[in-house]
């Protein structure tokens, strides 16, 4: 993923246009137009490939190339390393990240200073670095750009927490240097009226590992799109997601994993539970195994558990392979109601039906929670799942 390469444009046309006029729709994620200039993008209409599953009318204020409101979102950092600032053009800002949609381009141009968290060379942090984003109000528009760099042979966990309310466009740029191991967990526990569009772009170098976890519970519309390039030989990405959508919520992730180096490994697993009228989740998973990504092993899966009538999950896995020398590649998707056999098994052992249903949901989602590796956060998320289950009758 080169930060200097943009798709060619035609005079008088915007480069991102999908299907308008005589243009051929861009179907391949790797060919998507990119630019740091908001003027290079037209406002989404909902007909574009990357917007057609999103309620664009609810994100209109994030499409405006205008300065954000004071106090819209405040950022704070706690943990074993100090944060710094990066101006536009100051390395490593922009080494990996180039916006591929309008909110990301606006966030880039309107974030005069990026928040920079750097894990020192060979450091092994015993406690997580926590970045807290707190919204100041549903009517306020905010932008931010965050750069997280794990230096060579370092090991660390970074947690991004979001709460309060705002209209928030966010970029997260992640660089995992040679031999490093970084776990990045982004947790969305917004108020019900928040709107959050986040674009994460990461590059993983030789023999390095990135574990990226997206957890979305709160917010009216939350769209977190991670894009990861496995650039170095032996690099690995583990991309996991957990969402719990209730009445009126739209929770979305468009995942892109690009195997570029040789002997790379990718594991993608997103799970969601939905309950209540109008609850909606969207997951789109794109995996590209490039021509030089020999001996690659990659798998992506999405599982959705629909708990009540009126909820809807959309799941679209895509796999593109450009080499014949791979160890394995595949994808899977499943959406359904409760497993009757599981319920019968539990009830046959004397567990009442409501408790049996609760246990099935907890067991379904626990696989993702337990991958986080931060005990306090895992406990918090199990409590959050219990709170969600208490909102609706699951029968």
Closest CA to 207 of 237, 185, 186, 178: 178
CB 372 within 8 A of CB 213: yes
Q: Considering the entire predicted model, what is its pTM?
A: 0.91
pLDDT band at 318 (very low <50, low <70, confident <90, very high): very high
Share of the chain above pLDDT 70, in %: 92
Question: Taking the CB of residue 19, how many other CB atoms lie within 10 A of it?
Answer: 14
CB 81 within 8 A of CB 119: yes
Structure tokens at 155: 């090991």
pLDDT band at 356 (very low <50, low <70, confident <90, very high): confident
The average pLDDT across 105-111 equals: 98
Share of the chain above pLDDT 90, in %: 81
Tell me if residue 277 falls in helix, strand or coil.
coil
pLDDT band at 354 (very low <50, low <70, confident <90, very high): confident
For position 16, what pLDDT does the model report?
Answer: 43
Give the span between the Cα atoms of 221 and 202, in whole angstroms: 23
Closest CA to 321 of 348, 354, 297, 349: 297
Tens of pLDDT, residue by residue over 223-275, are 999 999 999 999 999 999 999 999 999 999 999 999 999 999 999 999 999 99
The average pLDDT across 302-328 equals: 94
What mean pLDDT value characterizes the chain?
A: 91
What are the domain boundaries of the chain?
A: 29-338
User: Using alpha carbons only, what angle is made at residue 226 by residues 115 and 80, rounded to the nearest 5 degrees?
Assistant: 40
Q: What stretch of H or E contains 387?
A: helix 375-389
Q: From residue 383, how far is each of 13, 144, 203, 260, 358 by CA, in Å?
A: 50, 29, 33, 39, 12
Tell me if residue 31 falls in helix, strand or coil.
helix
Q: Which residue has the higher pLDDT, 356 or 1?
A: 356
Place of tokens 């020398």: 325
pLDDT band at 392 (very low <50, low <70, confident <90, very high): low
pLDDT of 7 over the 70 cut: no
Helices 353-369 and 375-389, packing angle to 10 deg? 150
The average pLDDT across 44-60 equals: 96
Q: Is 163 exposed, middle or buried (0-12, 13-18, 19+ CB in 10 A)?
A: middle
Structure tokens at 389: 């289950």
């Amino acid at each position: 993923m080169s930060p200097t390469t943009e798709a060619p444009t035609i005079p008088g046309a915007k480069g991102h246009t999908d299907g308008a006029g005589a243009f051929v729709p861009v179907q391949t994620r790797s060919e998507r137009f990119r630019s740091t200039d908001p003027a290079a993008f037209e406002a989404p209409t909902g007909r574009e490939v990357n917007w057609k599953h999103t309620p664009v009318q609810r994100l209109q204020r994030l499409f405006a190339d205008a300065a954000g409101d004071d106090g819209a979102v405040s950022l704070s950092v706690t943990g074993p390393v100090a944060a710094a600032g990066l101006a536009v053009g100051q390395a490593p800002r922009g080494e990996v990240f180039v916006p591929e949609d309008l909110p990301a381009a606006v966030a880039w141009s309107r974030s005069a200073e990026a928040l920079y968290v750097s894990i020192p060379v060979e450091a092994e942090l015993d406690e997580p670095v926590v970045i807290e984003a707190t919204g100041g109000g549903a009517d306020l528009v905010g932008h931010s750009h965050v750069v997280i760099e794990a230096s060579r042979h370092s090991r660390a966990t970074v947690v991004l927490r979001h709460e309060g309310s705002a209209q928030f466009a966010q970029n997260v740029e992640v660089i995992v240097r040679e031999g490093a191991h970084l776990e990045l967990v982004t947790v969305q526990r917004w108020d019900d009226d928040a709107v959050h569009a986040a674009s994460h772009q990461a590059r993983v170098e030789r023999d390095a590992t990135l574990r990226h976890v997206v957890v979305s519970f709160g917010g009216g519309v939350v769209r977190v799109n991670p894009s990861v390039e496995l650039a170095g030989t032996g690099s690995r990405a583990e991309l996991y997601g957990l969402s719990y959508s209730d009445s009126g919520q739209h929770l979305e992730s468009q995942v892109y994993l690009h195997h570029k180096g040789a002997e790379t490994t990718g594991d993608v697993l997103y799970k969601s539970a939905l309950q209540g009228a109008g609850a909606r989740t969207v997951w789109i998973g794109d995996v590209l195994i490039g021509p030089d990504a020999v001996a690659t092993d990659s798998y992506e899966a999405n599982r959705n558990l629909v708990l009540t009538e009126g909820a809807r999950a959309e799941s679209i896995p895509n796999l593109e392979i450009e080499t014949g020398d791979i160890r394995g590649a595949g994808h899977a998707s499943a959406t359904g109601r409760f497993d009757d056999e599981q319920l019968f098994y539990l009830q046959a052992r004397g567990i009442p039906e409501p408790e049996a249903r609760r246990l099935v949901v907890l067991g379904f989602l626990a696989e993702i929670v337990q991958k986080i590796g931060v005990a306090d956060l895992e406990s918090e998320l199990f409590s959050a799942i219990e709170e969600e289950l208490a909102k609706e009758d699951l029968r």
